[in-house]
Chains A and B, each alone.
Chain A
Amino acid sequence: MSVVTNTTTIGAIEAPSRRNTELALLAFAVAIAVFAYLNVGLALDGEVPAGVLGYALGLAALAGVAHLVVRKFARYADPLLLPLATLLNGIGLVLIWRLDQSQRLIDRAKNIYGAFSPSAPKQMLFSAIGVALFVGVLILLKDHRILQRYTYISMVVAMVLLILPVFFPAQFGARIWIRIPGVGSIQPGEFAKIIISIFFAGYLMVKRDALALASRRFMGLYLPRGRDLGPILVVWALSILILVFETDLGSSLLFFGVFVVMLYVATERTSWIVFGLLMSAVGAVSVASFEPHVEQRVQAWLHPFADKTLAQSDQIAQSLMSFGAGGTIGTGLGQGNSDLIGFAANADFILSTVGEELGLAGTMAILLLYGLIVERGVRTALAARDPFGKLLAIGLSGGFAIQVFVVTGGVMGLIPLTGMTMPFMAAGGSSVIANWGLIGILIRISDTARRPAPAPAPTSDAEMTQVVRP
């Protein structure tokens, strides 16, 4: 299938599309998830679960559709991203289904809400919507550079998304949900993190030279001019303030991290890191001093077993004991007691179930899967030919890495718990849908990056070297 139809000396050698690799990996990912599903059923009831066929077909259909769309609309895309996302989503579904069958959680739900409704079917639906968004991104977004046009619209949309939850009542101690009757709750922050990356990328691409060069040296640091830095600083500060007001600490950390990473990449100046760390230190101290919520979480993190009156402290303690109970190889799917965590066991704390039932080995494998997604994202950024694509890719994958770090570090007691969702695995529609969108954009950028340059038009004088005689 050579496209070298001309006779130029510099042939456009086609990069391998790797679509068949992707298909094989997808089949592998689906198989692992289906085996996990079987495993849970056998462990819990001693028989092949009734829903296994539906689950297998559903997951395979989602993966198949996504694959076909990639084959058609992004044939040079990175072959790993889609299988990795599918595998994590599939395992997440299995874990949520497993926790759905916990008598302890069922009783708990009945005591508190009067009824229990399983989360796995909802999550399956959200995964389908997520894949639909993925497909939509690939079909509608022919070139990621189109997004550049919407830099300022992105800013407005992100702001609106961030402000909206303020008008809705707080749930579980944070104002991060929009409750739409009949539909359910949406966590707009998950979408805002993508949209604000688009804004940062678009703005920084335009202003990067000004930010990097037109600056005054002050105490060894290059301080940019206010008119260059001003708008972005305002947007960033505003989002942090809103998030602090909504007590969504995880997201404020995430937004801050993404901002610093993209600023650093855009300007190539290490001083931004120093500047960012200084700002974060100031921010963290000031937030912690007037926000009791933060203080509580820090206390729960420092002394998880000390004060059982704190709800978070108990969650952290239970989560740590879950990980401990898993040990090296885990108790086996369906055979742990991670449901002792209670609230958010299948959401923010889904990784504790991995820790208990799949053990150290399984948790490290899952963490490496996330690491691979980030790695493929950074690779995409490296390969991207345009600064906007580079910035967007690094913003999205850096944000992904920070989110995984913040959630995992939180449930493992490495850092204070901030309450974010584990991408793809945690129960929660917004998270799954938004992350499928994120993968869609990354695949689009990677397709553009790896797509071979269009072949130069054949010319008649290419056949021989022309010698210019004096």
Chain B
Amino acid sequence: MNKPLRRIAIFCALLVLALLVRDNWVQYVQADSLNTNALNRRTGIERYSHPRGNIIVDGKPITGSVATSGTDFKYKRTYKDGAMWAPVTGFASQVYGANQLEQIDDGILSGNDDRLFFDRTMSMFTGKEKKGGNVVTTLNADAQKAAFEGLGKKKGAVAAIDPATGKILALASTPSYDPSTIAGSSDEKAWVGLDKKNNPDDPMLNRALRQTYPPGSTFKVVTAAAGLEHGMVTDVDKPTDSPLPYIMPGTTTELKNEGNLPCKNATLRKALEVSCNSVFGHLGEQLGKDKMLETAKKFGFNAEQFTPVRADASVFPEDPNASQTALSSIGQFDTRATPLQMAMVASAVANDGKLMKPYMVDELRAPNLDLISKTEPEELSRPLSQENAQKLQSIMETVVKQGTGTNAQIPGVTVGGKTGTAQHGENNDQNPYAWFISYAKTGSGSPVAVAVVVEDSDASRDDISGGGLAAPIATDVMKAVIDSEK
């Protein structure tokens, strides 16, 4: 009977061997795909098993973590002034994932990033609780507050940049939402309430980065830059060859000015000061679509910007006809821009023609505060020569000194700016958007460039103007930055 017994022994060995092989297959080969399976709750459990790192503004965290009970997830994200900072932080929810900075720097914040490997290994030996690293932003809390409070109940957005470095100083969007309300695991009601489908205000839309508006007259700064750069205009105080009335080419339509303005053959300075549609439309037409597009692209149009949060691409139409080029050159037709984009335009002018890449994450730090990475300012392009930039500064400053932008004056500070009131809707049937872009200059250069857009449907139509609605907000933001520099 021993021969079959030996065979049975082999059979039993094969059974065990099959299990060992299967074990290796599951726990070694398949382990990764099992761990990344969407149904695997361990990812979430691990992620929220320790306090998440913080997002820092001016040395103070604007986020936090609070211990919760009764669920698998031990810690929940909290936000200080959540509504104000939401366009910067995004949200981190136990159920709905994360977006914006919370998502982009999730590795650092959750402590899972490979760059934290050493840190993790150390705390394994020291027995410390795992913690996430911190994200230090470039934002300026005072500027952000000024922007957010300036927008108030109005719908709109503010973007402010440090022209010399590209650091984003303020990024506000209203109406906003408090990410704390959707951070937990039983916040479905709040989440549904924030959904665009149920909330016409679309509070989760980051208007500073993700909404493009027709920039209106603020785009004339770009057209002026194109005129200067391509030699169409050499002296901003020499009369241009601008007809009035200006009939757009190929049409019988007159490109009208807002009111009876002295725009016939006006100098570039005068044309910007009173915001002549005819002068800039004609200038754009003369430059042609290619030159206009070239300059617009140098300012950052037609490309997404990564701050590292993605900003939608602003648009200058690729192939307009001559009259469309004229319209596009005054920021109408298909021209669209994000507030960030227009702040970039102002910052490039203020920075003597050098456009710095906008960014909002200054440093990433390990839980023990070791520096993991620091963002170095990076030049994006040079839309203007230094000489032309200074010419443009000079006429933008005139706008604030005595033109449409007098609301933006700050005592003792040189301010350059441009208003905009962009038509909106079919046949201009909806309330226009009020725009203001500007920069401030102190003795040591320009610390801030800002763009404000207010899309206020409540104000009566005649009250809406860039100078009236948007410029005061921009002024407060500039003041806040200048004051905090002192």
Q: Which one, B4, B6, B28, contacts A360 given CB within 8 A?
A: B28
Tell me the complex Cα distance, A266–B5, Å.
Answer: 9
A359 to chain B: which residues have CB within 8 Å? 27
Q: Which one, B9, B23, B41, contacts A367 given CB within 8 A?
A: B23
The answer on a CB contact under 8 Å between B27 and A268 is no
Contact with B along A150-185 (1 / 0, CB 8 A): 000000000000000000000000000000000000
Contact with A along B9-21 (1 / 0, CB 8 A): 1011101101110
Given the known inter-chain contacts A367-B20, A405-B15, please indicate yes or no for A324 contacting B27, CB distance below 8 A.
yes
Contact of B252 with A by CB under 8 A: no
The answer on a CB contact under 8 Å between B4 and A268 is yes
Q: Which of B32-40, B84-92, B337-345 contacts A (4 or more CB under 8 A)?
A: B32-40
Given the known inter-chain contacts A363-B23, A405-B18, please indicate yes or no for A323 contacting B34, CB distance below 8 A.
yes
Tell me the complex Cα distance, A324–B45, Å.
Answer: 15
Contact with B along A306-350 (1 / 0, CB 8 A): 001000000001001101111110000000010010000000000
Contact of B8 with A by CB under 8 A: yes
Q: Which one, B1, B9, B42, contacts A390 given CB within 8 A?
A: B1
Tell me the complex Cα distance, A1–B121, Å.
Answer: 58
Tell me the complex Cα distance, A391–B1, Å.
Answer: 9
Q: Chain A's interface: helix, strand, loop or mixed, by majority? A: helix
Closest Cβ–Cβ distance, residue B26 to chain A (whole Å)? 5
The answer on a CB contact under 8 Å between B8 and A305 is no
Q: Which of B5, B18, B30 has the most C-beta atoms of chain A within 10 angstroms of its own C-beta?
A: B5
The answer on a CB contact under 8 Å between A412 and B26 is yes
Contact of B197 with A by CB under 8 A: no
Contact of A73 with B by CB under 8 A: no
The answer on a CB contact under 8 Å between A398 and B23 is no
Contact of B2 with A by CB under 8 A: yes
Tell me the complex Cα distance, A104–B22, Å.
Answer: 29
Contact of A381 with B by CB under 8 A: yes
A327 to chain B: which residues have CB within 8 Å? 27-28, 31, 35
Contact of A64 with B by CB under 8 A: no
Tell me the complex Cα distance, A57–B354, Å.
Answer: 79
The answer on a CB contact under 8 Å between B4 and A317 is no
Q: Which of A400-440 contact B (CB under 8 A)?
A: 401-402, 404-405, 408-409, 412-414
Tell me the complex Cα distance, A401–B32, Å.
Answer: 30
The answer on a CB contact under 8 Å between A264 and B12 is no
Contact of B3 with A by CB under 8 A: yes
The answer on a CB contact under 8 Å between A378 and B1 is no
The answer on a CB contact under 8 Å between A360 and B23 is yes
Contact of B72 with A by CB under 8 A: yes
The answer on a CB contact under 8 Å between B15 and A402 is yes
Q: Which of B23-79 contact A (CB under 8 A)?
A: 23-24, 26-28, 30-35, 37, 39-42, 45, 72
Q: Which of B1, B7, B11, B32 has the most C-beta atoms of chain A within 10 angstroms of its own C-beta?
A: B1
Closest Cβ–Cβ distance, residue B74 to chain A (whole Å)? 11
Contact of A300 with B by CB under 8 A: no
B8 to chain A: which residues have CB within 8 Å? 261, 264-265, 378, 394, 398
B34 to chain A: which residues have CB within 8 Å? 320-321, 323-325
Closest Cβ–Cβ distance, residue A253 to chain B (whole Å)? 12
Contact of A364 with B by CB under 8 A: yes
- How big is the A interface, by class? 35 or more
The answer on a CB contact under 8 Å between B39 and A305 is yes
A391 to chain B: which residues have CB within 8 Å? 1
Q: Which of A234-275 contact B (CB under 8 A)?
A: 261, 264-266, 268
Q: Which of B18, B22, B27, B41 has the most C-beta atoms of chain A within 10 angstroms of its own C-beta?
A: B27
Given the known inter-chain contacts A268-B1, A378-B5, please indicate yes or no for A371 contacting B16, CB distance below 8 A.
yes
Q: Which one, B6, B9, B18, contacts A414 given CB within 8 A?
A: B18
Q: Which one, B1, B16, B40, contacts A374 given CB within 8 A?
A: B16
The answer on a CB contact under 8 Å between A317 and B20 is no
B72 to chain A: which residues have CB within 8 Å? 104
Tell me the complex Cα distance, A264–B6, Å.
Answer: 12
The answer on a CB contact under 8 Å between A390 and B5 is yes
Q: Which one, B3, B24, B32, B41, contacts A268 given CB within 8 A?
A: B3
Q: Which of A275-299 contact B (CB under 8 A)?
A: none
Contact of A210 with B by CB under 8 A: no
Given the known inter-chain contacts A401-B12, A405-B15, please indicate yes or no for A323 contacting B1, CB distance below 8 A.
no
Q: Which of B15, B28, B37 has the most C-beta atoms of chain A within 10 angstroms of its own C-beta?
A: B15
The answer on a CB contact under 8 Å between A409 and B18 is yes
Tell me the complex Cα distance, A222–B130, Å.
Answer: 68
Tell me the complex Cα distance, A337–B49, Å.
Answer: 12
Q: Which one, A340, A363, A364, A375, contacts B9 given CB within 8 A?
A: A375
The answer on a CB contact under 8 Å between A367 and B12 is no
Q: Which residue of A lies closest to B29 (CB)?
A: A324
A199 to chain B: which residues have CB within 8 Å? none
Closest Cβ–Cβ distance, residue B353 to chain A (whole Å)? 55
Tell me the complex Cα distance, A413–B7, Å.
Answer: 26
Tell me the complex Cα distance, A374–B13, Å.
Answer: 9
Given the known inter-chain contacts A320-B26, A355-B27, A368-B16, please indicate yes or no for A265 contacting B1, CB distance below 8 A.
yes
Given the known inter-chain contacts A337-B45, A374-B16, please indicate yes or no for A409 contacting B22, CB distance below 8 A.
yes
Tell me the complex Cα distance, A462–B39, Å.
Answer: 80
Q: Which residue of A lies closest to B36 (CB)?
A: A324
B26 to chain A: which residues have CB within 8 Å? 320, 323-324, 355, 412-413
B6 to chain A: which residues have CB within 8 Å? 382
Tell me the complex Cα distance, A62–B22, Å.
Answer: 34
The answer on a CB contact under 8 Å between A414 and B22 is yes
Given the known inter-chain contacts A321-B39, A325-B34, A337-B45, please indicate yes or no for A409 contacting B19, CB distance below 8 A.
yes
Contact of A90 with B by CB under 8 A: no
Contact of A37 with B by CB under 8 A: no
Contact of A353 with B by CB under 8 A: no
Tell me the complex Cα distance, A371–B13, Å.
Answer: 7
A261 to chain B: which residues have CB within 8 Å? 8, 11
Q: Which one, A266, A320, A360, A413, contacts B24 given CB within 8 A?
A: A360
Q: Which residue of B lies closest to A367 (CB)?
A: B19
Closest Cβ–Cβ distance, residue A301 to chain B (whole Å)? 13
Closest Cβ–Cβ distance, residue B49 to chain A (whole Å)? 10
The answer on a CB contact under 8 Å between B42 and A325 is yes
Contact of A79 with B by CB under 8 A: no
B41 to chain A: which residues have CB within 8 Å? 337, 340
The answer on a CB contact under 8 Å between A364 and B23 is yes
Closest Cβ–Cβ distance, residue A312 to chain B (whole Å)? 15
Closest Cβ–Cβ distance, residue A414 to chain B (whole Å)? 4
Q: Which of B11, B16, B31, B41 has the most C-beta atoms of chain A within 10 angstroms of its own C-beta?
A: B16
Closest Cβ–Cβ distance, residue B37 to chain A (whole Å)? 6
Tell me the complex Cα distance, A368–B12, Å.
Answer: 12
B37 to chain A: which residues have CB within 8 Å? 305, 321, 324
Contact with A along B236-271 (1 / 0, CB 8 A): 000000000000000000000000000000000000
Q: Which of A328, A387, A402, A414 has the most C-beta atoms of chain B within 10 angstroms of its own C-beta?
A: A414
Contact of A397 with B by CB under 8 A: yes
Tell me the complex Cα distance, A371–B8, Å.
Answer: 13
Contact of A370 with B by CB under 8 A: yes
Q: Which residue of A lies closest to B6 (CB)?
A: A382
Closest Cβ–Cβ distance, residue B39 to chain A (whole Å)? 6
Q: Which residue of A lies closest to B22 (CB)?
A: A414
Q: Which of A80-125 contact B (CB under 8 A)?
A: 104
Given the known inter-chain contacts A266-B1, A337-B42, A378-B5, please indicate yes or no for A408 contacting B27, CB distance below 8 A.
no
The answer on a CB contact under 8 Å between B1 and A364 is no
Q: Which one, A325, A340, A363, A412, contacts B35 given CB within 8 A?
A: A325
Closest Cβ–Cβ distance, residue B123 to chain A (whole Å)? 15
Tell me the complex Cα distance, A397–B9, Å.
Answer: 10
What are 11 A-B residue pairs whose CB atoms fall within 8 Å in the complex? Answer: A320-B26, A321-B40, A324-B33, A327-B27, A337-B45, A367-B23, A368-B20, A371-B13, A375-B9, A375-B12, A405-B16
Further pairs besides A324-B33, A375-B13: 10, Cβ < 8 Å: A264-B7, A265-B1, A321-B34, A323-B31, A324-B40, A367-B19, A371-B12, A375-B9, A382-B2, A414-B18
| Nearest 10 Cβ contacts at the A-B interface | A324-B34, A360-B27, A371-B16, A401-B12, A405-B15, A378-B9, A414-B22, A324-B31, A265-B4, A323-B26
